[in-house]
Amino acid sequence: MRRDLANARMGQLVGADGRTYSIGVPRIGPPEVEALIEAGCPVVTYYAGGRLVWHDEDDAWPAWADARSAPATVTAGRWESPDGSLAVVLVWHE
């Protein structure tokens, strides 16, 4: 499911699952991103200008594929909620 997120602030966001995620590891490499997605972690894309889109289930892999093939620079980070749930955040840079 893709869903736009409205509740975000510096270093923290509220996911579509209702959890609050904070930056855990700001930069991770492709092997870790793929392992997290394979394990069922959601992906959040953060586009220049502040738009956030939540991707879970079948939408996580296409979001990652778009980031991998983008001509723009995209960095990935591992974010964590207080209950230990993880999310991958893809930041698109201009």
Enumerate the β-bridge partners of residue 23: 79
How is residue 24 written in tokens? 């855990």
Sign of CA dihedral 26, 30, 32, 38: positive
User: Could you list the residue range(s) of the whole structural domain that residue 85 is in?
Assistant: 2-93
Q: What is the pLDDT along the chain (94 residues), one digit of tens a residue?
A: 556 566 566 788 989 999 999 999 999 999 999 999 999 999 999 988 888 899 998 899 999 999 999 998 999 999 999 999 999 999 998 7
The secondary structure element, H or E, covering residue 35 is helix 30-38
- Provide the 3-class DSSP secondary structure of residue 84: coil
Q: How many structural domains does the chain have?
A: 1
